[in-house]
Structure 1
Amino acid sequence: MYERMIARTRRRMRMTVLTLAGSKGGCGKSTLGRAMSALLAREGASFAVVDADPNKALSRWLTAIYEGPEITHCAEANEDRLAHLIAELRDQHDLVLVDTAGFENLGSSVAIASADAVLIPCKASEADLYEARTTATKVKSLSVTTRRTIPAWVILNSVRTTAVAAHAAEQIKEAGLERLSASLGHRADYEAVSHTGKMPTSGAAFREVTDLIAELRAKDAMPAVRVTA
């Protein structure tokens, strides 16, 4: 019995809630959700997706368009039910990936407060950088409220040129925000995924998302795939 208890404890320690957050629509949360979900499913990872965006873009994609291994997913925008749903799925999977609305609402706050880490996608425009700072400030406030550290990282999305990316990276640094080394380029493949349901298995987009997942795992923000006998 003691060994089973230890095993359950170790399993709980591996469970992670990763929330995709941003107070501006169009910053790339659903793009990230689609790409990461498709690759994680292909790996055979134990994870679930929660779509907390009232628009349900990610949920609609998973239900009607996605082609690949089955992914457990739920759409829940109600903040009261959302908190319980995330907790329930966290007990059943190694990872819960939560997509949020492109504006501030109670559901987004619940998703951030429930998170073990937050990923903030950000394009290179001034408006996106401003909203990334707003979201990061919200994460810090909820860290104080929940009395625990909730790490948050900005990831540059839809990068068009090296010069623009460098400028945006410098702006993120000057704002005191932490940025991931991984980034997503402005690529037709990401748009195609939203229509075809198929994530590429090679090429630049595939490498970018693979690098992102590897970096998050290195930061203990995402569990590695468990090998079962």
Structure 2
Amino acid sequence: MGVLVVAGSKGGTGKSLLSMSISAFLARKEADFALVDADPTEAASRWSQAIYEGPPFETYAERDEDKLAHLIADLGEQKRLVIVDTPGFDNLSSSVAIASADYVLIPCKSSEADLYEARATMNKVRSLARSTRRDIPARVVLNSVRSTTVANHAANEIRDAGLSPLKCSLGHRADYEVMTHSGKLPINGTAARELRALMAELTELEWLPK
């Protein structure tokens, strides 16, 4: 299947939340995957090992960029999918992960500053795709959106910038924050519907195993 990297030029966009959500969803489906946490905060790996409540899945925390490259390559030979949660661009591990990616998911909030950072991330992906001489598909997913009007405007801005937004988005909901403390993936309500729509769209793109 490949390597799915969740990337962004800075922190606070929801990279770890998305990595956690996708991992918990796939674990419930008994998918063959592993999560690699390359962020120095180790939020995703700490969550999966000490807080998460659900079917177990393999998680690795690796800050060293040289070891990270080998770990992603090794896991890519063993698993159908490898999910990589990355730090910001000030850390070389981010570039190493993107260069190893088959697909890149870019979480983005709806402010002008966040849209600017999403463009910077896409430019990084395109540069690394050029240097590795291969295509690296990337999509933007709007995260922590407070209204449908804002989501539509932000999606139009993303398209106008030559980027590709996903059809679905994640709202600004307490359930997502609660998940990071409770370890439980939302299974009811609006948050659960948003996550199911996200997973369905990623599966349709063949970024996630069916």
* TM-score interval, normalised by the smaller of the two chains: over 0.9
Task: Describe the superposition over 1:31-85 as per-residue Cα deviations: whole angstroms up to 9, x where unpaired.
Answer: 1111111111111111100000011111111111111111100000111000110
- Name the residue aligned to 1:198: 184
Query: How many Å separate the matches in 1 of 2:17 and 2:122?
Result: 20
Match of 2:149 among 155, 163, 166: 163
2:124 partner amino acid: K
Secondary structure of 1:91 counterpart = helix
Residue 41 (1) aligns with residue 54 (2): no
Equivalences for 1:1-229 in 2 at 5 Å? 15-224=1-210
| RMSD of aligned residue pairs (Cα, Å) | 1.0
Length, aligned pairs only: 210
Q: CA deviation at 1:104?
A: 3.3
- Give ranges in structure 2 of 5+ residues lacking alignment: none
User: Quick check: 2:35–2:59 contact (8 Å CA) kept in 1?
Assistant: yes
Task: Describe the superposition over 1:130-149 as per-residue Cα deviations: whole angstroms up to 9, x where unpaired.
Answer: 11000000000011011110
| Range with bigger deviation, 112-121 or 33-42 | 33-42
Secondary structure of 1:88 counterpart = helix
- Name the residue aligned to 1:3: none
Between the two proteins, what is the percent identity of the paired residues?
62
Query: How many Å separate the matches in 1 of 2:147 and 2:154?
Result: 11
Query: How many Å separate the matches in 2 of 1:223 and 1:38?
Result: 14
Max Rg structure: 1
Q: CA deviation at 1:102?
A: 3.0
Query: How many Å separate the matches in 2 of 1:87 and 1:210?
Result: 29
Query: How many Å separate the matches in 1 of 2:196 and 2:169?
Result: 11
User: Quick check: 1:25–1:103 contact (8 Å CA) kept in 2?
Assistant: no
- Give ranges in structure 1 of 5+ residues lacking alignment: 1-14, 225-229
Task: Describe the superposition over 1:176-225 as per-residue Cα deviations: whole angstroms up to 9, x where unpaired.
Answer: 1001001111111100000000012222111211111111121122222x
Q: TM-score normalised to the size of structure 1?
A: 0.89
1:54 partner amino acid: P
Task: Describe the superposition over 1:110-150 as per-residue Cα deviations: whole angstroms up to 9, x where unpaired.
Answer: 10011100000000011111110000000000110111100
User: Quick check: 2:89–2:95 contact (8 Å CA) kept in 1?
Assistant: no
2:73 partner amino acid: A
Q: CA deviation at 1:103?
A: 3.6
Q: CA deviation at 1:105?
A: 2.1
